[in-house]
């Protein structure tokens, strides 16, 4: 297992287009998180899954954002009708549940989105 994998690493899109990012977590991790990080800031929580269930969504996640985790494995984050304000690094992380000894995350390298 090589850790948390995110694709693509970089995405440039025109305003108004839809984009989709993929995250492959560590295989035995049942929790998966999406964060957004803008330049010079710390990551901000967007949403999280336990297995295939999306259990929490931030108010940052507008109606244009949707995330899925079919079968509790990889996850996708889609942004519809992109806006320039969506330009950011999108980070994925995975972890075990507390009862399984988990307390820390493993982060992916992120997908950098630029909306022009």
Partner 1 sequence: AQTVTQSQPEMSVQEAETVTLSCTYDTSESDYYLFWYKQPPSRQMILVIRQEAYKQQNATENRFSVNFQKAAKSFSLKISDSQLGDAAMYFCAYRRAHTDSSYKLIFGSGTRLLVRP
Rg (CA), the chain: 14
40 binds partner 1 (CB under 8 A): yes
Residue of the chain from 79, 110, 113, 115 that contacts partner 1 (CB under 8 A) = 110
Query: Residue 66 CB, nearest distance to partner 1 (Å)?
Result: 18
d(CA 18, CA 33): 21
Q: Applying CB under 8 A, does 105 fall inside the site for partner 1?
A: yes
Interface with partner 1, residue 41, by CB under 8 A:
yes
**Least distance to partner 1 from the beta carbon of 116, Å?**
21
Burial (CB count within 10 angstroms: exposed 0-12, middle 13-18, buried 19+), residue 101: exposed
Q: Is 95 in the site for partner 1 (CB under 8 A)?
A: yes
Question: How many residues make contact with partner 1 (CB under 8 A)?
Answer: 26
Nearest CA to 65 among 20, 25, 5? Answer: 20
Question: Footprint of partner 1 on this chain (CB under 8 A)?
Answer: 3-4, 31, 33, 35, 40-45, 48, 55-56, 91, 95, 98-99, 102-105, 107-110
């Amino acid at each position: 297992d090589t850790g948390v994998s995110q694709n693509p690493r970089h995405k440039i899109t025109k305003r108004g287009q839809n984009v989709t990012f993929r995250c492959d977590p560590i295989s035995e991790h049942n929790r998966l998180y999406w964060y957004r990080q803008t330049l010079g800031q710390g990551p901000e929580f967007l949403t999280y899954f336990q297995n295939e269930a999306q259990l929490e969504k931030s108010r940052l996640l507008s109606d244009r954002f949707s995330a899925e985790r079919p079968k509790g494995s990889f996850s996708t984050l889609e942004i519809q009708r992109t806006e320039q304000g969506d330009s950011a690094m999108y980070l994925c992380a995975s972890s075990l549940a507390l009862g399984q000894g988990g307390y820390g995350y493993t982060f992916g390298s992120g997908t950098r989105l630029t909306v022009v």
